[in-house]
Every structure is written in structure tokens, then in C-alpha cells.
Amino acid sequence: MLRLLEGWIKSALLEIQEYARLQSATVRGCVTRPFYFRDVVEQFEQIGIGSLTVVLLTGFFTGAVLALQTGITLDQFGARPFVGRLISASMIKELGPVLTGLMLAGRVGSGIAAELGSMVVTDQINALRTLGTDPVRKLVVPRVLAGVFMAPVLTVVANTVGIIGGWLIAVFQLRVASSLYWTSVIEGLYLEDAWMGLIKPFCLGFAIVTIGCHVGLRTHGGTQGVGRATTNAVVASSVAVIAVDFFVTRLLITLLY
Amino acid sequence: MGFAAQRSASLEEGLGAGSPVLIFDKVSLAFDDKVILKDISFTVIVGHTKIILGASGSGKSTILKLVLGLLRPDEGIIWVNGERVDQMTEQQMMKVRADLGMVFQEGALFDSLTVAENVGYKLYEETDMPTDQVHRRVEEVLGFIGLGEYSDRMPSELSGGQRRRVAIARAMAAKPRILLYDEPTTGLDPITATTVDDEIIKLRDFENVSSILVTHQLRDAFYVATHEAVRRDDGVLQIVPADPEKSEEAEFIMLKDGGVAFEGYAAELRASSDAYLKTFLS
């Protein structure tokens, strides 16, 4: 039993050490040559444009259902016209970044783990190293840059369509005047909220992609291992999204408000 | 200029004909309690082939990974092209790898790149060689292995044998002085395996490439050791049985339980009375 615990602690510490090493190698790869510009552009397209549909749909329906649910509650206080304020604050500060993060964890995190995992088990990563290419610079850096910079863009898109979804429900279902809704949306927003909504996705994007890369590059055990790595990447990055969101929120509340 | 690492004049002289390009000196490696290699020592001479035989899990592929710096030994010294590599960092190893080519067991071709992109990968991505010059080199190498018309195909569209030959082309594109083959013919039918063997022989005899061939396919091991490539008067390349002197440019190593069970030439291996070797060869 003690041996089992010792083994578990050792392997957990090894994972943390390797994750930290990957992060530091990635940061070094971002600021030193060689730099694989074509791969960076390709990843911006794959992670950014490729995730647009899922983010659009998630954002829209989240805003719409939020309007439906809060409309009923607000009615009890005669505050139905304030639905816009609630939706904009909720979407921009919390739901937009977190839901976009979760969608990226599912789509991008799993994709990266599966792709890199397959490359590991088919010796393609070793082939890259043999051919003189550092896999971190070639594969990890472009994905991390794309994740870090596209997550905020996608979050803004999710926020926008979420507020539009809320507007449709507010106008056609809750019978709130359109002008009243938009006034409420703007009144409910403060500059600090916008900063919070913009800063969080940078951290979430970094966490999702680095976890996906780490899990993918540590894949072992053939095709079964790739399946395991994919599942682990989704689970770990989804939990990381919620946890990082909490800690960054706590930090930003201290710094901004 | 892109092709294999430039050497100083003194190193070039030091690694001339008859010199060792690769030395393993009492190399040992274990994963936890499992001993993979124990006190392995051998040398590879310029232009010669070292054929490493052994059962599955005997540490054959591990030797290649140690040469490439993909693994580090627990003990012992490894010299590659006059440089001690067993304690080098990943960054330092990149320079050593410029002069090494590796053919992986299943080819390890990049499945999102075409055959031409795979073959020219190193020259496109890791050198400043002009693109048209890279194209020419890719065409030349694909022509050498007889797959010139397959340059635009994806690896998934190739047969097993063609994939291995493309892997050989990728490994040789940057003109390395040492080529490492990890089970290049495993899983191939005898006829296709012979085409791969022929490429190995041609590279050794025409490009003067030193090589390590890891395999458990005895037929291929003996074929490579006992044949040579010659150019006929009409310019056509031909693989013919090698004379005894040429056959001695290929030396066998048999691994067993992490150690060397046999080291010598093809004829000596065939004549060995060792029970294990006899079982392996039967």
C-alpha cells in the first residue's frame, strides 16, 4: 500500500516537473529562433477559424437560455427590463470565457493530444528530432501562440452572439423593448468587467493548449495510449479551465476592483 | 550549405578511410530494474556496415536511439564522428544529428506531408538552401530509390515497401555520413524487402555511407553483408555477390540478454557452433 502511494506520488511529481519543463521550453521557443512562421499561421487558422462554429453556437444558446431563465426570476421582482444588464455582465465576466474555454478544451485540447500522441507512437516525434527539428518549437510553440491569442478573440465572439441571443429572447419572448435591452446591456458593463473578460481567456488558452501538448507528447502504449491521452487531455484541461478561472478571477478582483 | 555538417580539415583527415566513425565503449543502460544493455562495445569504420542481430527486446533499437541521443546511457562512452555524444544536451545533439540519417521501423513518415515534402523536410525546414536546389535534390534522391513519379502522393497512398524506401530517401537527402536502419524490412514480403536491401547496399557502395543495420531478418542481413553494388559498363547499377574482401566490410553483432553474444563476419557467424546462435540461425 505504501509502495503504491509512493509510486503514485513519484509519477505525479514527474508529471508536474515535465509540464513545467514544457512550459519553460515553450516560452523560450516563443522568444528565440528558429521560429516556424508557417506553422503558426496554420495553427491560428485551425484553432481560431476551426473553433468558430462551436463557439458561435454555444455562445448564442447560452445567452438565449440565460435570458429565458433569468426573465422568470426577474419577473418576481418586477425587474424584467434589467435582463440585458444581467446577460451582459454574466456573459462577459464569466460565461463567455469559461464556456469558450470548455469548448476549446473539448475541441482543441483533445485534437492536439490525439495528433501529437499519434506522432509519438508512430515515431514521428523521434523522426523530427533526428532531422534536427526541436518538436517543442515546431509543434508546441505554434499551438500555444494560436491558443493564447485566439481564445480571447473567440471569447469576444461568444460574448457578442450570447448578448444577441439574449436580445432575441428578451424582445420576442419576454416582450422587453429592444432599446431598453441594449441600454441595459451597456449600463450593466464597467471597464473592469471588460478587462476581466479579456484577460481570462489568455490564461485559459495557455492552460488548454499546454495541457493538450503535454499529454500528447507523453503518450505511450500504441493506439490505446492515444485514446487514453485524448480523454486525459479533455478531462485535465476542462478541470484546469474551471480552476484557472477561479484563481484568475480572484486575482483580478484584487487588482481591478 | 544545407548538406551534412562541414568538418575541419584535421577532423576530415582523422575520420578518413579505415577510421572509426562510431564507437561504443562499455555502454550500459537499464530502465528501472530491467537491464537493456550491459557493457556493449563496438566500432563502425568509415564506409562499413555493422549489422546488429538479436531477439525482440534484446536492445537492438536502443543502440540506435543512443547513437542519436534520443536516450542517454547510464554508463559508458559513445563517440560519433569524433564527438563524444553520451553527455550532450539536446541542443548540442542537433549538430551531431546533421550528419546522421535514421530509417525508422515503420518509416515514421510525416503523414500530413507529401512524399516530396517528407524527403526534402530537413532541407526545406532546417537549412537555408534555395527552394529550387532543394527540389532538385528531392528529385535526385527519389530517382535514386526509383520513386520519382510518387513525389506528390501522400504516405497513406504508398505500399509498405514504398514507405520504407521513402524513409531511406528522407534519411539520405541531406547526405549524412552515417545511416541507421531500424528493422527496415520487417513486415515486408521477400521481394519488396530485397528492393529495400538493394537501396542500403547502393548507399553504402556508391555514397560511402557508414551504417548500422538493426534487424532480425537473417535473410536480409546476410544479403546486405554478402552483396555489393557495381556500375556496369553501360552505366546500369547492379547488385552482385560481393568478393570475400568486400564482405568483410559488413560485420555482425548478436545481442543476447543485454550483452554481445557474437561479433564477427558473415562466414564466421554461419560457421559458429554456439548453441544459441545455431538456434537463432536455424
- pLDDT tens per residue across span A157-203: 999 999 999 999 999 988 999 999 999 999 888 888 899 999 999 99
Q: Is B98 exposed, middle or buried (0-12, 13-18, 19+ CB in 10 A)?
A: buried
**B125 in a structural domain:** no
Look at residue B198 and tell me if it is in a domain.
yes
With cut-offs at 50, 70 and 90, classify the pLDDT of residue B1. very low
Beta strands B20-31; B75-80: pairing state:
antiparallel
Which residue, among A3, A37, A125, A131, would best test binding to B if mutated, counting the most B CBs under 10 Å from its CB?
A: A131
CB contact under 8 A, A123 and B110: no
A131 touching B (Cβ < 8 Å): yes
pLDDT of res. A43:
95
Q: With CB atoms and an 8 Å threshold, state whether A131 touches B126.
A: yes
Contact at CB, A130 and B111, closer than 8 angstroms:
no
B260 found inside a domain: yes
State which H helix or E strand residue B207 sits in.
none
Closest residue in A to B172 (Cα) is A131
What's the mean pLDDT in B208-236? 90
Cβ(B221)–Cβ(B20) under 8 Å? no
Q: Residue B110: which of A124, A126, A130 has the nearest Cβ? A: A124
The minimum CA-CA distance between A29 and chain B, rounded to whole Å, is 12
- A192/B85 Cα distance (integer angstroms): 55
The helices-and-strands tally (H runs, E runs) of chain B is 12, 12
Q: State the Cα–Cα distance between residues B141 and B209, nearest whole angstrom.
A: 15
Q: Residue B104: what residue type?
A: F
Q: Grid coordinates representing B173?
A: 537527402
Q: Work out how many domains chain B is built from and give that number.
A: 1
Residue B118 lies in a domain: no
Task: Tell me which of B67, B89, B102 to substitute to probe the interface with A (most A C-beta atoms closer than 10 Å).
Answer: B102
| Pairs of CB atoms within 8 A across A/B | 50
Query: Is the pLDDT score of B97 beyond 60?
Result: yes
Q: Which domain holds residue B47?
A: 9-99+176-281
Give B11-46 pLDDT, tens digit per residue: 666 666 678 899 999 999 998 888 999 999 999 999
Q: Which of A185-194, B111-120, B184-193 has the highest mean pLDDT?
A: B111-120
Contact A150, A48 (CB under 8 A): yes
CB atoms within 10 A of CB B201: 24
Q: Evaluate whether residue B63 is within a structural domain.
A: yes
Is B128 part of any domain?
no
Position B64 in a domain: yes
Return d(Cα A202, Cα A252) in angstroms, integer.
Answer: 13
CA distances from B73 to B57, B179, B200 (A): 17, 20, 28
CATH of the domain at B201: 3.40.50.300
Q: Which of residues 27-46 of A touch B (CB under 8 A)?
A: 34, 36
Q: How many Å apart are CA A159 and CA A97, to the nearest integer?
A: 8
pLDDT at residue number B273: 84
Residue B253: inside a domain? yes
Per-residue pLDDT tens digits for A55-93: 999 999 999 999 999 988 888 888 888 899 999 999 999
pLDDT, mean of residues A208-222: 95
Complex ipTM more than 0.95, yes or no = no
